[in-house]
Structure 1
Amino acid sequence: MSLRTAGSVLVVFLWSVAVVLGQKGWSVTYTTQRICALKGSTVELTCSYTYPSGTVTTTLWFTNWGSGVEPEDLGQDPEYTGRLEYHGDKKKDSILRITDLRESDSATYKFRLLTDQTEGKYYGDPGVTLSVTALQVKLTYSSWQNLVTITCITTCTLSNPKPTYIWYKNGQHQHESTSPQYKYSVYSNSKDSYSCAVKGHEDLHSPAVCVQGQSCNTVTYTKRTICALKGSTVYISCTYDSGYDTVKSSLWFSPKQRSRWSDKLTPEDLTRDPGYAGRVEYPDKERWRYTGHSTLRISNLREEDSAEYRFTYKTYYFEWGHSFPGTTLSVTGLQVKVTPAAEGQKTLTCITTCTLTDNPTYIWYKNGQNVQGVSSPMYSISSENADSYFCAVKGHLSSAAVCEYSTIVQYST
């Protein structure tokens, strides 16, 4: 469970719509009724509300509501684990924050509140309809003019009222425009590839598309974001295609290290960077291939390793551009957070500063002994309990401890 998540954030405020269902004194006002957001970004759905009397006991957001039962709180839905946060004052407003958006998150979200009064339950219609879209490149050829029109397309109209589109040619920043279309001359033997992105969300670019044939200059990263534990080992990988030209050299680099480069415009191999000495290697480096797979391995991770990592290659005639976004790595430790729960109970939460990749299994220890049957980042205990508790992630040594609910200790072995 994370406190924050690195990546693109999309916060939209368009218009307000008050919704009253006829119950005197109750209302829900959604800041906007429709949002179109990019896959992988972060969105905030907001509302304000009023109620006639009493104290608010529960607030939640939901998408499904079966007849005869209370709606399912999205905060308890495993599909949103580590990606959903509730914010607000629990008196007049609420914010639902969803990170790392997926296309399956497309739905209508509604807010519900409960008070301590009889019949003190209410929800607001019509809710907020969220549509999640990825970017795609569409090519349209005009043979008689020898031109190709490249269009950056989405399945819904982005909520940003006037997005700026960025075009990458062979991994190099090429053009920016408020128009989603770009035209240029194309040759029959072209090995060029194009990708588009929206400014401010460059890490969410479209897949690169060949303008001629099925083989051209491309680099495709296996993951665009990775969250890993301090002290662990991470593998960052990509596939590449040189359009049938022989690859003579390749390397991984980080733009964050630019100040250390001899030539600020020429990336330097991470294996030669003293900050990564003895911790970086390419376990499957391939040479003299038209297409291939490359992996960057970083061991004994440090928090200062949090950065973007990019791959580049050279042929005898071509070099892949250095401005194409790569994979962003965030390195985190573990902490234990203690919060009041039901009467006589407290909740321990094993928290990180980013959402750990690959849905890890959590391990809890009570007074140094493994607690059986608990594998989630949250663990309920008695308020009267004065024992010490540790949390860890299965397969890793990094852990955190809390003693008597007063001190949070973070360490790794």
Structure 2
Amino acid sequence: MFVKALYVFLGFLIYFLAGNGEYGHALSICALRGSSVDLPCPDRNHNSSMKWYSVNTDNVEEVPNDFSADGYNATYKITREKNFILTINTSLTESDVKSYCCTEETSNKDSCRSITKQIIQLHLADLQVKVIPATEGQTVTLMCSSSCRLTETPLSYVWYRNGELLYEDWSKWYQELVSGDGTAAYSCAVKGYEDLRAPEVSVDSVTSACFTVTYAKGRMCSHHNKSEDEPCSITYPRELNVNIMKKRFYSTLTCSSSCPMSDHQSAYRWYWNKRLDKSFECQEMVIKMHQVVVIACAVKGHEDLLSDDVCSDEAVLCPRVNYASRRICALEGSSVDISCEYFTSPHSSHSRRWFKTSGSGEVAVEENYRIKYEKTQGHDTLRINDVKKNDSAEYSFTLHYDLPRVLLVVTGLKVTMTPSALVTEGQRVTLTCTTSCPLRNDLVFIWYMNGRPLTLPENRNKHLILDPISLGHAGNYTCVVISSKNNVSSAEESLAVNARDKSALIINSAKLAVLGLMLTAAFVLYMWRTKQNQASTNRTKDNVQTSQMDSLYESIALKPMNPTGQTEQELQEDPKRG
């Protein structure tokens, strides 16, 4: 709890240190839907006479202390002795999405509408597993995304597959590339809020032009005219391009792709000079012939699928920047090139620098012994040697001002063991060289045991399977990634293997022997009884047959064998015969 509170405080501190003018920007706070939130009083000179107000479109209402809102079970609590914090104590809902104002009791509450430095705008975030096409073959990457940037920096992210816990890590990226077989459903959560998981997502198919995703529910479905509470399947294009068709007085812009299945079910986003036009969601739009703007398009709800910038008039050299790769996963200690192609007038005075954006804000990237600029006409490369985890950030090359466009995640290597690092001989054990982001599929892994390489061909990937494990497998394991520039190694992890319990083995053997004797005795007894029953049956049959024969013999009348006597009797019975 203390660590979580510390992260919340640091998040708020960053906002305050940024500073606002007297009538500057309102403080914005993003919290997970269903969680609770602490709102610090933006007025640094707060005192015991301060009050909190909720600012709606129509009115400004005082937020009472220890109040439960009817129907929403939302408890508001004001802590005067601790920076005059307003706590919304139960599950945040849409009814809590509003502006909150902290001002003195003697002030006019309507000042909450004009002095924006006193206002906090509360936004709710929903977690969603974003599916983004990878450059490595027909695969995708997964990202645990929130609909707004969380003010409370997550301690870590927790990943699930088919409802079962996989791992937790500081990076919001899933650590492996995913192919489209549809057999696994993925979900994620923020550490400490595991009950507020993102809806499950499965990747059904991935081709060279498209990928199809099934969402169990969530806002991605609502972008495609489906209920947020129902599952939906969406086919996305892997790449988007802005095509320009010129007419006499106007130009038609089309956000096109090589995936025809996505066109009929997608809504689109259009960006004019880096600014989102929320009023237009069609695939085509029309502009005036001589209207010169920098244009890009994306799929609504999936703004990571963003096209390159184009100029609406090819005859004019619009200042724009396109990046060779927008997502980079780099091994700690390796070298990284972040490259871009830019278009601008040779006489332009626009600044050409690289900027780094992280939780501490945006800063210019200066050259030093690790960081170098490589410049050619129309191309610029930021090279970072011996990258470290604190190099993880968003990078942008600006001609005047640009949004962060390249995400760099720096990861180390770690050996993990499943089911655990302490096993019993005969079990199946899987050792995995884990990372915080998905590395390229073509990397070669070498496994070491007690400092010696395991050279079997099947051990040149990130998984090492020992099945069945024996006492000889106990030891210290290391994984190393081989690259053309340098090799990166993990720390050693120990695997302990216990011998089977001999006494238990003897007892089990004795049990098996007794069971065998019992089965043998039962079989012998069964055979003996079967023979006895068969003999008894045979004797019964013999007795029955003998009795029947005796009865037959008794029923037969004995006749005289004297032919003469028989003839005289017959003559007496038949007087005609004589």
TM-score over 0.5 (shorter chain): yes
In structure 2, C-alpha distance between the alignment counterparts of 1:99 and 1:242, rounded to whole Å: 42
Q: Which residue in 2 is equivalent to 1:208?
A: 309
State the AA in 1 paired with 2:409: S
Whether 1:195 aligns to 2:296 is: yes
Q: Which one of the candidate residues 290, 315, 322 is aligned to 2:402?
A: 322
In structure 1, C-alpha distance between the alignment counterparts of 2:251 and 2:345, rounded to whole Å: 19
In structure 1, C-alpha distance between the alignment counterparts of 2:349 and 2:204, rounded to whole Å: 38
Q: Which residue in 2 is equivalent to 1:390?
A: 478
Whether 1:139 aligns to 2:244 is: yes
Contact 2:204 2:213 in 1 (8 A): no
Q: Which residue in 1 is equivalent to 2:322?
A: 220
Identify the structure with the greater helix proportion: 2
The C-alpha deviation readout for 1:342-378, integer Å capped at 9, x for no partner, is 9643221111111114632111101111111331101
Whether 1:366 aligns to 2:449 is: yes
Aligned pairs (5 A) from 1:6-405: 39-40=133-134, 82-84=177-179, 86-87=184-185, 97-98=202-203, 103=208, 106=211, 131-133=235-237, 134-144=239-249, 147-154=250-257, 155-156=259-260, 158=262, 163=267, 165-169=269-273, 172-180=274-282, 181-187=284-290, 190=292, 192-213=293-314, 216-217=317-318, 218-242=320-344, 245=347, 249-256=351-358, 259=361, 268-271=363-366, 278-282=369-373, 284-286=374-376, 289=377, 292-313=378-399, 319=400, 321-323=401-403, 325-339=404-418, 344-357=427-440, 359-372=442-455, 373=457, 374-381=459-466, 382-384=468-470, 385-394=473-482, 395-404=486-495
Give the gaps of 5 or more residues in structure 1.
1-36, 45-58, 61-80, 90-94, 110-127, 261-267, 314-318, 407-413
Alpha carbons of structure 1 residues 356 and 405: separation in structure 2 relative to 1, 3 Å? farther
CA deviation after TM superposition for structure 1 residue 398, in Å? 3.5
CA deviation after TM superposition for structure 1 residue 305, in Å? 1.9
The C-alpha deviation readout for 1:257-302, integer Å capped at 9, x for no partner, is 7736xxxxxxx52107xxxx643221x224xx4xx21111122322
CA deviation after TM superposition for structure 1 residue 246, in Å? 5.1
Contact 2:235 2:262 in 1 (8 A): no
The C-alpha deviation readout for 1:162-208, integer Å capped at 9, x for no partner, is 74513142xx22522342244433428x5x43111235533321122
CA deviation after TM superposition for structure 1 residue 247, in Å? 6.7
3-state SS of paired residue (1:359): coil
CA deviation after TM superposition for structure 1 residue 307, in Å? 1.4
State the AA in 1 paired with 2:343: D
3-state SS of paired residue (1:304): helix
Q: CA RMSD in A?
A: 4.3
In structure 2, C-alpha distance between the alignment counterparts of 1:203 and 1:135, rounded to whole Å: 11
Contact 2:444 2:460 in 1 (8 A): yes
State the AA in 1 paired with 2:434: I
Contact 1:43 1:98 in 2 (8 A): no
| Greater mean deviation of Cα atoms: 364-373 or 241-250 | 241-250
Alpha carbons of structure 1 residues 375 and 160: separation in structure 2 relative to 1, 3 Å? farther
In structure 1, C-alpha distance between the alignment counterparts of 2:204 and 2:402, rounded to whole Å: 28
In structure 1, C-alpha distance between the alignment counterparts of 2:264 and 2:469, rounded to whole Å: 47
Give the gaps of 5 or more residues in structure 2.
1-130, 135-139, 144-160, 163-175, 188-199, 215-231, 498-578
3-state SS of paired residue (2:278): strand
Identify the structure with the greater strand proportion: 1
Contact 1:39 1:100 in 2 (8 A): no
In structure 1, C-alpha distance between the alignment counterparts of 2:309 and 2:449, rounded to whole Å: 50
CA deviation after TM superposition for structure 1 residue 328, in Å? 0.8
Contact 1:165 1:177 in 2 (8 A): no
The C-alpha deviation readout for 1:201-240, integer Å capped at 9, x for no partner, is 3332112233233773332211111101123221111111
In structure 1, C-alpha distance between the alignment counterparts of 2:346 and 2:204, rounded to whole Å: 39
Contact 2:204 2:211 in 1 (8 A): no
In structure 2, C-alpha distance between the alignment counterparts of 1:271 and 1:309, rounded to whole Å: 13
In structure 2, C-alpha distance between the alignment counterparts of 1:279 and 1:99, rounded to whole Å: 42
In structure 2, C-alpha distance between the alignment counterparts of 1:177 and 1:229, rounded to whole Å: 42
The C-alpha deviation readout for 1:330-352, integer Å capped at 9, x for no partner, is 11111112225996432211111
In structure 1, C-alpha distance between the alignment counterparts of 2:343 and 2:479, rounded to whole Å: 43
In structure 2, C-alpha distance between the alignment counterparts of 1:329 and 1:101, rounded to whole Å: 24
Alpha carbons of structure 1 residues 42 and 367: separation in structure 2 relative to 1, 3 Å? closer
TM superposition score normalised by structure 2? 0.42
The alignment-based identity, stated in percent, is 28
TM superposition score normalised by structure 1? 0.57
Q: Which of the pair has the greater relative contact order for Cα pairs under 8 Å at 6+ separation?
A: 1
3-state SS of paired residue (2:492): strand
